Structure 1
Amino acid sequence: MKYSVLGRTGMRVSRIALGTATFGVAPDPQDAGRMVGAALDLGINFIDTADVYGNMPVFDRPGAPPAAERQPAEEILGRALRGRRDGVVIATKSNGIVGHGVNDRGLSRKHIIDQVETSLRRLQTDHIDLYYAHDVDTDTRPEQTLAAYDDLIRQGKIRYVGLSNYPAWRVTRALWIADDRRLASAPMAAQVKYNLIDRAAERELASACGEFGLSIIPYAPLHGGLLADLKVLDREVSGDERFGAPGFPEREISLAHEVDRLAREWGLAPYQLALAWLLARPAVASVIVGPETVGELRANATAADMELEPWQLEALTALAVEPPTFHHRAGDGPAKPHANGTATR
């Protein structure tokens, strides 16, 4: 396993990170524990989770217990890491809806502090290595969010801050605020959906991260399995269908066929091409894979040591079309004025 320095932290993370979004569904809790052990054996020291992973209704699928009967992914991970926490870089997040109360989401000081304590308890640890703002919260000013993170860093409860699904201008603004106020909470990483099919991150975010020294941590590097193996199309649930979204459009399937063709021509597997290409992109430090079996994890891990030839990288890059704008899950429009006329964002 190869390692990269995460942003400006000096901390090294494995080039392949284990994602836990579907822990408790696929793999089930027992198999998830075995997967964590297999990841550590492979040299993977970077594990990504969130306070809403695992037991959200959006993850429901046939054959799995309903959301109300599932444990949070953080809890499953904490149990799996019992006695093996040292040396593991844990990333988790908050902002998603975690209850029925009006303050059970967001990036306010109240919600962040509440959720950090919840995550620490579930993960059975005294600190979180990388703590992400999970999507933009347009109701909370970033100054408040970063100040809360700064306090938590000084208390030793979190080590570093990241931003998930943030456009480049918001990342830059967060860096400016942290620098202007001498906060320890300047973001060190940007997590975003990024793969051969979805290259929106290259429009502005990649350049901003490269300029300011942040690492890009892509999720969905195999586009829901489509870039791993075309057999995924035969599964009952695949791609974003795992999260309640529609299946793959035809243009994405066509591109995946091209990746499969090149893989066979070069004597490699499609997932190796997709992951190795992404790991070669500027500012990318590690990619988050979401395997459902230990076998898939071991296969994906082989890409960490691969280095494609420049002509191979160029051939893969030429397959994809860079989208015109950056799309993300949170609303992000023009600044809304307060009653006193000042902008809220």
Structure 2
Amino acid sequence: MQYSLLGPTGVRVSRICLGTATFGVAPSAQDADRLVGAAVDLGINFVDTADVYGNMPVFDRPGAPPAAEREPAERILGRALRGRREQMVVATKANGVVGLDVNDRGLSRRHIVRQVEASLRRLETDHIDLHYAHDPDPDTPIEQTLAAYDDLVRQGKVRYVGLSNHPAWQVVQALWTADDRRLQAPVAAQVKYNLVDRAAERELAPACTRFGLSIVPYAPLHGGLLADLGVLDREVSGDQRFGAAGFGAAEIALAREVDRLSRDWGLAPYQVSLAWLLARPAVASVIVGAETVDELTANATAADVRLEPEQLDALTALADEPPAFHHRAGDGPGETAVVPDPAG
């Protein structure tokens, strides 16, 4: 397993992060312990969860217990981490709706503090290594959110702060606010990012590269489509796992090309897709929502794959659109472009 620094923290995280969104569905609550144990054996020291994962109807699928009978993913993970907690960097999140009360959501001080306390109980730990604001909250000033996190860091309940699904301008606003108010600043940005969906490259990736934040992509295999075309034969695949639609024709066409290139290079599509993403600027680790030990073991091999520049270029060229903002040497008179190191 290879490791990267998480932003400016000095903490090293495995380049493969274990995602737990479907804990309690796939893997089942009983199989989650074995999956977490396999992750540790593979050298994976980074695990991602959230206060809303696992026991929501959006995760329902045939053959799994209904939402009302499932435990939160955090609770399942907490049990699986017994005896392993100190080996792991644990990330969780808050903002989603977690109850019937009108205030059981958002990024207010009230909600963040209550959810951190609840997450600590479910995870059976005394601290959370990385806590993300799960989504932007237009009703709460960023100053209040960061001040609440600052207090939690000073209390030792949270070590570092991150932003999930925030656009680049809000990430930069948070950095400016933290600097101005002398508050704990975000160290990482979590976002959907893969060969099919490269919107993060338009503004977020350049901002994170410039200001030293790590990007931690979720859905790096686009719901399994970039892992193996066999996913098309599954009853439930892609965003269907979360109650959304399946794959479009353009997405499938791109995946077929990834599959062709991978076979030509003697690699598996999941290795190529993850290795390409891990080579992008600012990407520290990718969240893999493996449902079985075999899937996790296979995906973990991508951390050791190093693609040649021409291979990376061939994959990058598959995208329908280039990023909205692309700078290279010679773009303007007297300008010298700064090209980030692809290794981050």
On whether the aligned pair clears a TM of 0.5, the verdict is yes
The normalised TM-score by structure 1 is 0.93
| Partner amino acid, structure 1, of 2:181 | R
Q: CA contact under 8 A between 1:17 and 1:46: conserved in structure 2?
A: yes
Q: Name the stretch that deviates more: 313-322 or 218-227.
A: 313-322
Q: CA contact under 8 A between 2:198 and 2:323: conserved in structure 1?
A: no
Residue of structure 1 equivalent to 2:201: 202
Residue of structure 1 equivalent to 2:303: 304
SS at match of 1:86: helix
The 1:325/1:312 distance shift into structure 2, 3 A limit, reads closer
Residue of structure 2 equivalent to 1:110: 110
Residue of structure 2 equivalent to 1:317: 316
SS at match of 2:274: helix
**Deviation sequence 1:195-230 (CA, Å, 0-9, x none):** 000000000000000000000000000000000000
- Structure 1: gaps of 5 or more residues: 327-345
Q: Distance in 1 between matches of 2:147 and 2:125?
A: 23
Structure 1 position 90, deviation (Å):
0.1
Residue of structure 1 equivalent to 2:284: 285
SS at match of 2:86: coil
Residue of structure 1 equivalent to 2:5: 5
SS at match of 1:191: strand
| Partner amino acid, structure 2, of 1:153 | V
Residue of structure 1 equivalent to 2:258: 259
**Deviation sequence 1:168-207 (CA, Å, 0-9, x none):** 0000000000000011x20000000000000000000000
Residue of structure 2 equivalent to 1:64: 64
Q: Distance in 2 between matches of 1:233 and 1:321?
A: 21
Q: Distance in 2 between matches of 1:195 and 1:314?
A: 15
Q: Distance in 2 between matches of 1:170 and 1:322?
A: 24
Q: Distance in 2 between matches of 1:324 and 1:60?
A: 35
Q: Distance in 2 between matches of 1:53 and 1:321?
A: 32
Residue of structure 2 equivalent to 1:45: 45
Structure 1 position 323, deviation (Å):
6.8
Q: CA contact under 8 A between 2:201 and 2:323: conserved in structure 1?
A: no
SS at match of 2:313: helix
Q: CA contact under 8 A between 2:6 and 2:284: conserved in structure 1?
A: yes
Residue of structure 2 equivalent to 1:335: none
Q: Distance in 2 between matches of 1:124 and 1:55?
A: 18
Residue of structure 1 equivalent to 2:97: 97
Question: How many corresponding residue pairs?
Answer: 325
Aligned-pair identity (%): 80
Q: Distance in 1 between matches of 2:139 and 2:323?
A: 27
SS at match of 1:217: strand
Q: CA contact under 8 A between 1:200 and 1:322: conserved in structure 2?
A: no
SS at match of 2:186: coil
**Deviation sequence 1:220-248 (CA, Å, 0-9, x none):** 00000000000000000000000111100
Structure 1 position 30, deviation (Å):
1.2
Q: CA contact under 8 A between 1:200 and 1:323: conserved in structure 2?
A: no
Structure 1 position 84, deviation (Å):
1.2
**Deviation sequence 1:140-169 (CA, Å, 0-9, x none):** 111000000000000000000000000000
Q: CA contact under 8 A between 2:130 and 2:161: conserved in structure 1?
A: yes
Q: Distance in 2 between matches of 1:205 and 1:107?
A: 21
Q: Distance in 2 between matches of 1:207 and 1:321?
A: 20
Q: CA contact under 8 A between 1:199 and 1:321: conserved in structure 2?
A: no
Q: Distance in 1 between matches of 2:322 and 2:185?
A: 29
Q: CA RMSD in A?
A: 1.0
Structure 1 runs (4+) deviating above 6 angstroms are 323-326
The 1:212/1:324 distance shift into structure 2, 3 A limit, reads closer
SS at match of 2:27: coil
Q: Distance in 2 between matches of 1:290 and 1:86?
A: 22
Q: Distance in 1 between matches of 2:323 and 2:18?
A: 30
**Deviation sequence 1:276-324 (CA, Å, 0-9, x none):** 0000000000000001110000000000011001110000000113477
Structure 1 position 87, deviation (Å):
2.2
